[in-house]
């Protein structure tokens, strides 16, 4: 049996009629340590090329960023295009209309987190400077 990721597993269960909740499908699309962060930035700041995303997320590895972007593209959430700037080829990523439709969910999650952190009187120390997988 081949190794299935959660997105494939959810798609298979949808097709087989063994599916209980549409929230599960939504979560399978945005699940991944960096996907929500990537979508948040693309949704609020527009297109980024790969190296810009690497600089924006210094803890992410090249392999993980590639994997997360590939999955988002396969799911139709982002679109990849190439552009030549000053005789150099760049690959850019931008939200599709499907990706844009997720922004209200992502924004609501961000707002909820901000309110909850404030309610708990926590002082977050956001640190994304060390590489992790």
CATH number at residue 72: 1.10.10.10
pLDDT of residue 65: 98
Task: Say how far apart CA 30 and CA 113 lie, in whole Å.
Answer: 17
SS3 125: coil
Query: Which of these ranges, 63-72, 74-83, 103-112, 117-126, has the smallest mean pLDDT?
Result: 117-126
CA 132 to each of CA 36, 42, 86, 124, 127: distance values in angstroms, whole numbers, following the listed order: 16, 21, 33, 19, 12
One domain, residues 37 and 26: no
One domain, residues 17 and 64: no
pLDDT of residue 129: 45
pLDDT of residue 131: 43
Share the mean pLDDT of the chain: 87
Q: What is the pLDDT of residues 87-102, one digit of tens each?
A: 999 999 999 999 999 9
Question: Total structural domains in the chain?
Answer: 2
One domain, residues 107 and 117: yes
Q: What percent of the chain has pLDDT over 90?
A: 64
Task: Say how far apart CA 49 and CA 130 lie, in whole Å.
Answer: 21
The domain containing residue 20 runs over which residues? 1-31
pLDDT of residue 11: 74
Q: Mean pLDDT across the stretch 53-69?
A: 95
Exposure of 60 by Cβ count < 10 A (0-12 exposed, 13-18 middle, 19+ buried)?
buried
pLDDT confidence band for 126 (50 / 70 / 90) = low
Task: Note the pTM of the prediction, 2 decimals.
Answer: 0.81
Exposure of 49 by Cβ count < 10 A (0-12 exposed, 13-18 middle, 19+ buried)?
middle
pLDDT of residue 128: 56
- Decide the pairing of beta strands 88-95 and 48-49: antiparallel
- Decide the pairing of beta strands 48-49 and 78-85: unpaired
């Amino acid at each position: 049996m081949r190794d299935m990721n959660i997105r494939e597993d959810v798609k298979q269960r949808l097709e087989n009629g063994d599916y209980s909740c549409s929230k599960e499908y939504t979560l399978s699309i945005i699940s991944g340590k960096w996907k929500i962060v990537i979508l948040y930035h693309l949704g609020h700041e527009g297109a980024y090329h790969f190296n810009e995303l690497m600089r924006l997320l210094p803890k992410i590895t090249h392999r993980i960023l590639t994997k997360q972007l590939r999955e988002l593209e396969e799911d139709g959430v982002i679109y990849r295009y190439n552009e030549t700037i000053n005789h150099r080829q760049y690959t850019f990523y931008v939200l599709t209309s499907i990706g844009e439709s997720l922004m209200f969910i992502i924004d609501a999650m961000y707002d909820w987190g901000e309110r909850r952190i404030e309610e708990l009187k926590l002082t977050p120390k956001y640190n994304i400077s060390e590489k992790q997988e």
